[in-house]
A and B are shown apart, each in its own frame.
Chain A
């Protein structure tokens, strides 16, 4: 891992390019050397220092994901200062996230600018679908990585430069496990679950449903053909997260989309009013309802 900027992998690309930094380094495999730990125990200074060779315990007390959380908070401060509503869309692969996004952009195009960060292990297919709507999109390819982190999103934001008072949709890597642990700086995580999956998914993958503020139950037009119990699914989601909101939609047929669009508009109004009130630095977190 690069210890200057924290890049976890050499395989991450943004729109097909290795991402650039303010500081200078190329991500060649040798870059982990030069941290200075080779030869520490050979220097003459060390041999004269008191206590050398004795084991010593030191308290660290550091949050393991502190670095990601700090970068997420930096992203969040940027969103707040610019009135940008950032949503982190998470789901298993194939739940219909991209179709939902395409329909959302199409219907909200007149209300505010929408920009999209797409996360996938490989291909720019999803970003291409978004760009076809006219919206700005940046594709992050995580290589072997199973989730987006705040650092990748920070670099994608440099390329994307979302407009003031816009909506930023971050479509995470399709994975119901890993993305739950990584704050990207978003206002809300939105978990998309399609009715062709099991109604017990919230119980099987509880961390994601616990981390989300809203669950979108997608592909509801298929319910008459399935033995999926939507009520049970909602009850399971509330069992791991009593405060989760639920919307039933069909992104392809349009059912229930108005309620989702109203939810986005309401959250965007909150983001804009925070900018206007200059709420940066007042300690209002993502879950604050003071606006």
Chain B
């Protein structure tokens, strides 16, 4: 359940940004989470709602942009889409794949007042 730690880290960034911007309230937080980032987004939503209670972001809407997973296929010598780690190359069926995209975990922006 490392989504709780991730939610706490998100709140830390949100609180710091809110202080800097002089926000009394944060209404929306937008994250970018890669498909291959090992984050269960529903668990993250649950944890986020729990950790923001009593904070400047209490009740804030959590928007999550999911970015696609990609990998370098040694067989194709090309970047190919990858739904999940351990999948075979959708082009050649090979297993020699090195993930090169979709592991992002970022706070993109927030809406405050």
Binding site for B on A (CB under 8 A): 1, 3, 6, 8, 32, 35-37, 40-41, 46, 49, 52-68, 145-147, 149, 177-178, 180-182, 202-203, 206-207, 210, 235-236, 238-240, 242-243
Given A62-B107, A64-B106, 5 other A-B contacts at CB below 8 A? A56-B111, A58-B109, A60-B108, A62-B106, A64-B13
Question: Does the CB pair B85–A67 fall under 8 Å?
Answer: no
Question: Does the CB pair A147–B5 fall under 8 Å?
Answer: yes
Q: Which of A65, A68, A202 has the most CB of B within 10 A?
A: A65
Question: Does the CB pair B95–A64 fall under 8 Å?
Answer: no
Q: What B residues does A239 contact at CB under 8 A?
A: 86, 88, 95, 97
Which of B2, B17, B36, B112 contacts A55 (CB under 8 A)?
Answer: B112
Interface set, chain B 78-110, CB cutoff 8 A to A: 84-86, 88, 95-99, 105-110
A106–B51 alpha-carbon span in the complex (Å): 45
Question: Does the CB pair B27–A55 fall under 8 Å?
Answer: yes
Which of A37, A49, A63, A65 contacts B15 (CB under 8 A)?
Answer: A37
Question: Does the CB pair A6–B96 fall under 8 Å?
Answer: no
Query: 1/0 contact trace for B64-90 toward A, CB 8 Å?
Result: 000000000010000000001110100
Query: 1/0 contact trace for B27-67 toward A, CB 8 Å?
Result: 10001000011110000000000010011100000000000
The B contact surface, by secondary structure, is: mixed
Q: What B residues does A202 contact at CB under 8 A?
A: 86
Count B interface residues, CB 8 Å.
49
Report B68 CB to chain A, min CB distance, Å. 17
A202–B95 alpha-carbon span in the complex (Å): 13
Count of A-B contacts judged by CB separation below 8 Å: 126
A58–B108 alpha-carbon span in the complex (Å): 9
Q: What A residues does B105 contact at CB under 8 A?
A: 63-65
Which of A6, A49, A62, A177 contacts B2 (CB under 8 A)?
Answer: A177
Given known contacts A63-B106, A207-B38, is B55 in contact with A37 (CB within 8 Å)? yes
Report A144 CB to chain B, min CB distance, Å. 9
The closest CB in chain A to the CB of B99 belongs to A210
Q: What B residues does A146 contact at CB under 8 A?
A: 1-2
Q: What B residues does A68 contact at CB under 8 A?
A: 9
Q: What A residues does B111 contact at CB under 8 A?
A: 55-57
Q: Which 7 pairs between the two chains have the least Cβ-Cβ distance? A: A206-B85, A178-B2, A41-B24, A40-B24, A207-B38, A64-B105, A37-B56
Given known contacts A64-B106, A240-B85, A242-B97, is B12 in contact with A58 (CB within 8 Å)? no
